[in-house]
Chain A
Amino acid sequence: MSVPRYWREIKYRYRLIGEMCTDCGAAFFPRRAVCPRCGSKDLEECKLSEKGAVVSWTVVRNPPAGYEKYAPYVVALIELDDGVRILSQVVDVEPEEVEAGMRVEATFRRVREDGSSGIIEYGYKFRPVIE
């Protein structure tokens, strides 16, 4: 993988930056050039909530190349508190402990390595909130 392909996503992946339509107020992740709800091209970056709740989840047991050492791992569709939905691994939890509605928060983690001498990619994963 090229270095620019990694660094161009850093802001969005490290800080959970999405995009909001200035005309209808809808927010999106990842960023978009056009609002699919109202057609507006006037969108601006916005910071997304870092907490949310699990809507649905799975346990990936036969992972794609590059993710072998993390398997099995939980991947969930999460609805953030601002209403934006995001797909993410959920870590620091046993798969059988995950349930719909579980409160989770973003955490900064290693995601994968591009071979033995390539880029080490970081980004968001989510973990259960300890109240």
Chain B
Amino acid sequence: MRSVSVAGVGLTRIKEHWEKSLRDLFAEAALKALDDAGTDEIDAVYVSNMGSATLQSQLHLGAMMADAIGKRGITALRVEAASASGGVAFHEGVKAVASGLHDCVLVGGVEKMSDALPGEVAAALAMAEDQEYTAYTGVTKLGLNALVHRRYMERFGAEAKEIAMFAVRGHEHAVGCPHAQYPFKVSVERILASPMEADPIHMLECSSVGDGAAAIILRPAEEAEDGVEVASTAVATDFYHLTERYDITVFEAVRWAAARAFEAAGVSHKDIDVLEVHDDTTITGVVSLEDLGFVEKGKGAAFVAEGNTARGGELPTNTFGGLKARGNPVGATGLYQIAEIALQLRGEAGPCQVEGAETGLAQSLGGLGTTCAVTILRRR
């Protein structure tokens, strides 16, 4: 297998893009990434997306998006793993270049959520869960997170305000981020005073509806001028039903994917200078920190409240705002995370920069910890 580099990245701002279609958004990010990589010669396009079948009644995105950037005759397909689609598509793109099958791959994620009404978006997101026995109960994705959130507080004695600090940090980090949806600070008092979304989760602890696209160009490392290398990628899955997990406060898929990614990269936790985790609500961010192995189980919320995940802290986490503040255009989110790690390692993170970052990790979740994709990048 050959070493693979991140040769280019392109991001759109995340917001409600009323004037842009799914195709417009994808093309914008993809063309920026190609420009960044200084190439126009790609031989495959992997499109990550979760909701277009219901939100736009649109499928066959591989061909659609390849054509949108003026490419015919190349391999193109869509990858779907709920909100882990971006991380899983990246894993597949890396395999294609590492194996020698392709020499230049574009992995692009896109989601356009503002085309649908709130109930339609909630139903689309609930498609990550079993329609017959989970979504059937009327539970939402946020409702499932809430079951974990409540149990976590009860089991470990974590306080609501400690867990809410995850969102406070995200908003602090998003200030100045050009692609963030909500680049402003929010106080913990304001978060805890916001209405309940799915008790005990407050509305301001939840990532929101947004449109966006993120694209990354992958090439063999020896040919790339840019110095960001894919150290490893790993994907793992868990029981599809939350009810069958032995402990709902543990995301075993995260543990498995992390173990494999760290081993394959040959790095340890202390080598990680910058981290992106999947905080679709505050609790998933906290649990992810623990199950990735950075914090002891049950101590994640206190770790965040103490300031360890701040930009100047021991483990700078979600340095562009995370899902909460940068935004969560579901199928594209995993690629925003990976692109942000690459920008950090290139020293091009602007006001979000973590000085001297050499190694970074991005983790995305599909469903409630059901699929986990872990990517480790390093500067060469």
Contacts of B140 in A (CB 8 A): 60, 62-64
The answer on a CB contact under 8 Å between B199 and A30 is no
CA distance A111 to B200 in the complex (A): 24
Kindly supply a per-residue 1/0 record for chain A positions 49-76, scoring 1 wherever the CB is within 8 Å of any chain B CB and 0 otherwise. 0000001111111111111101001011
The answer on a CB contact under 8 Å between A77 and B242 is yes
The answer on a CB contact under 8 Å between A61 and B197 is yes
The answer on a CB contact under 8 Å between B122 and A65 is yes
The answer on a CB contact under 8 Å between A67 and B138 is yes
CA distance A60 to B206 in the complex (A): 14
Kindly supply a per-residue 1/0 record for chain B positions 193-222, scoring 1 wherever the CB is within 8 Å of any chain A CB and 0 otherwise. 001111111000000000000000000000
Interface residues of B in 123-139 (CB under 8 A from A): 123, 126, 130, 132-139
- Cβ of B241 < 8 Å from any Cβ of A? yes
The answer on a CB contact under 8 Å between A77 and B198 is no
Number of B residues, CB within 8 Å of A? 38
Q: Which residues does A use to contact B, with CB under 8 Å? A: 9, 28-30, 36, 55-68, 70, 73, 75-77, 85-89, 95, 100, 111-112, 123
CB of B268 to closest CB in A, whole Å: 31
CB of B81 to closest CB in A, whole Å: 20
Known: A56-B150, A56-B151. A65 touches B119 (CB 8 A): yes
Between-chain CB contacts (< 8 Å), 20 pairs:
A29-B133, A56-B148, A56-B154, A57-B150, A58-B139, A58-B200, A61-B195, A62-B119, A63-B122, A63-B138, A64-B119, A64-B140, A65-B117, A65-B119, A73-B138, A75-B147, A76-B147, A77-B242, A77-B248, A85-B244
Contacts of A59 in B (CB 8 A): 196, 198-199
Contacts of A70 in B (CB 8 A): 138
The answer on a CB contact under 8 Å between A65 and B143 is no
The answer on a CB contact under 8 Å between B119 and A36 is no
**Among candidates B120, B123, B198, B241, residue contacting A58 with C-beta atoms closer than 8 Å:** B198
The answer on a CB contact under 8 Å between B248 and A56 is yes
- Cβ of B100 < 8 Å from any Cβ of A? no
Q: Which residue of B lies closest to A89 (CB)?
A: B137
The answer on a CB contact under 8 Å between A61 and B196 is yes
User: 8 tightest A-B contacts by CB?
Assistant: A58-B146, A64-B123, A65-B119, A85-B243, A67-B138, A64-B122, A56-B151, A59-B199
- A-B contacts at CB below 8 angstroms, number: 102
Interface centre among B147, B150, B239, B243 (most CB of A within 10 A): B243
Known: A62-B118, A62-B122. A88 touches B137 (CB 8 A): yes
Interface residues of B in 256-295 (CB under 8 A from A): none
CA distance A59 to B203 in the complex (A): 13
**Among candidates A36, A55, A75, residue contacting B138 with C-beta atoms closer than 8 Å:** A75
CA distance A62 to B198 in the complex (A): 8
Contacts of B117 in A (CB 8 A): 65
Contacts of B130 in A (CB 8 A): 30
Contacts of B137 in A (CB 8 A): 75, 87-89, 111
Contacts of B146 in A (CB 8 A): 58
Known: A58-B201, A64-B122, A65-B117. 14 other contacts (CB 8 A): A30-B132, A56-B148, A56-B150, A61-B199, A62-B119, A62-B140, A62-B142, A64-B140, A70-B138, A75-B139, A75-B143, A76-B147, A87-B242, A95-B199
